[in-house]
Amino acid sequence: MIVRNAGQHPVRLAQTPLLNGAPADEQYVDFVESAWDAPGVIWYRIRPRTLAPGECAQVYVRFRKRLPGDSVRLTLPAENAPAAEADIAYTAPEAALDYVVASKDRMTLYLYGRRQPGEDTAALVAASLDGEVLANAVLYGAEFRGDVALAVARLSQPLESGAYHVAGLHLADGRVIAAQFRVLPFMFPRSSVHVPAEMCGPLHMNLATWFMRSLETCQEHDLFTSAMQQDVFGVHERVAYVLGPDEPDAKDNAGGGYDRGLGWNARRLAESGWQELVERYNGPVPSWLNMNGTVRPLNWAVYGQFGDINGFDPYPVTYYGADHAYVRESLEQVRACAAPTPVFAFLEAYGWTGGQGVPDKARGPLPAEYRQNLVQALGVGVKGLSSWVYSFGAGGWAEQDAFAEEIGRCNRLVEHIADLLILGAPIQLAANDAGTVATGTAGEEYWEKPRVWTGCLLCGPDALVLAAANHIPASKDVPPSIEPARNVTLSVTLPDFLSPVSAEEVTEEGLVPVPCQIQDGTAVIRVDELVSGKLFVLRKLPAETTR
């Protein structure tokens, strides 16, 4: 539920919302005694609790299973104002606010709405910020072509870094789809855990993770750093993110098993006030919570809205010997669970030697597999990249020279289009003619999936990023035999507002023009050979070149 202070004085919201008239705390699921699918609350939050006139807050309640009935009455008391109340039906809306991002100068706001596949959705007619319609917002693709509509608004003053706001998209049928977002750094992080600071520059990394590096070290190597939860009280100006407890979703066994512990760590974090502590002592520094790609998707939903940024680590090779489609498929699901919160990908980069978390007889990914995973992650809209792990003692890539070189090349490639990636949201416009191939886990290829996968990002009103990834077969104990895809035609159905376009391939050296034909409103790019993955940028041609 979204609430707005429509009065003339600050309002302090109560600590606990009411569900059907009873405090949310009284409807908690008991992790030890209750059935795994018992109805009730896992955790809830209210952000922020003090509202200046005109400001908005969001009440978020996460159920394990919804309470009985067709709807829930949500009541939010306030210490110095009447309670706000709403009846919320248990029905999925036909569209949702998918992603919100402010420009680098925080003066322009990009709001992406996403239609649910197969649903009829009224057209987008307006956009709002904190309940006020943005009179100068320009709408693109208002009919949700490719399932996405975009509103772009120039603001009268810059948004404050770290501030909470509520964005709204208004549909022609009168419905308003709204959600809270936090103003985050305009940064696309490139990192890997525990990399020495002096190596980050040569590998085109701009962020040092895991533990916080000193201000002097960051300045010397032109880096930002993350901090862990124990560093909350000691951050400095180069701290970009505060990492929460790593993979709490994989440790939900307080009740004696994963079937009974779902969300236990999330509740502990919510009740401890951890997020509020980060905000109080670190101001605009956002929180970053990682989820584990080897536990059930239900956990991703439970944790997907918790951090200001949600990280996720799909591990197809080391754990599963799985087809690499798992990377895009899991990340797509996590994006849906987290929206409009951004998602960072923690790509697999370990398993060459025994060590922390490395299963027996595991192998690390090939350089080509890493690039293929990276291209998929970018193509589904992640907003940052890291990987686990550099340390040799944890089975990492410290002594894998070829792999390290590929990480550096990939980071350099991403560096050229980082600003576009920050602005981008996935849109269903891309296709190819490569056909399908049997996929699955090693020795059990039961599903037909694309021989070449294509993903597309709408990056504001003037550009698209196109990702194309070759199928690399599943293998567990031995590296796969990679068969390049040859003579592939990639196609992108162009929105009316983004036609015609020019095309460039993204390489380590920069963006290189490539031939692009426009046929009946579709951009066509032909690729002679695709070994791992490629990225392309399609830009709207200036008006004078189309006359």
| DSSP characters over 198-227 | HHHTTTT--EEBSSPPPHHHHHHHT-EEEE
CA distance 27 to 43: 10
The secondary structure of 356-414 as a DSSP string is: TTPPTT--PPPHHHHHHHHHHHHHTT-S-EEEE---GGGT-STT-HHHHHHHHHHHHHH
Looking at this protein, which amino acid is placed at residue 293?
G
Q: Chain-wide mean pLDDT for the chain?
A: 94
pLDDT at 209: 94
Q: Is the pLDDT of residue 377 over 60?
A: yes
The mean pLDDT of 489-503, rounded to a whole number, is: 96
pLDDT of residue 258: 74
* Cα atoms in the 13 Å half-sphere on the side-chain side of 399: 7
Residue whose pair of structure tokens reads 């606990």 in the numeric block = 16
Q: Is the pLDDT of residue 545 over 70?
A: no
Q: Is 236 left (phi over 0), alpha (psi -120 to 50) or beta?
A: beta
**CA dihedral of 31, 37, 38, 42, whole degrees rounded to 10:** 50
Residue 426 has which token pair?
A: 């996935």
Question: Residue 101 — φ and ψ, nearest 5°?
Answer: -145, 140
Taken in order of first residue, the domains within the chain and their CATH numbers are 2-89 (no CATH), 95-182 (2.60.40), 197-415 (3.20.20.80), 425-545 (2.60.40)
Closest CA to 59 of 73, 40, 45: 45
- Strand residues in 378-435 grouped as ranges (E): 385-388, 424-426, 430-432
> Residues 198-231: pLDDT tens digits?
999 999 999 999 999 999 999 999 999 999 877 7
Which residues on neighbouring strands pair with residue 387, listed in sequence order?
347
258-262-264-270 Cα dihedral, nearest 10 degrees: 150
Give the model's confidence band at 547: pLDDT under 50 very low, under 70 low, under 90 confident, else very high: very low
Both ends of the chain: CA-CA distance in Å?
A: 49
**Identity at 259, one-letter amino acid code:** D
pLDDT digits (tens, 9 = 90+) for 136-190: 999 999 999 999 999 999 999 999 999 999 999 999 999 999 999 999 999 999 9
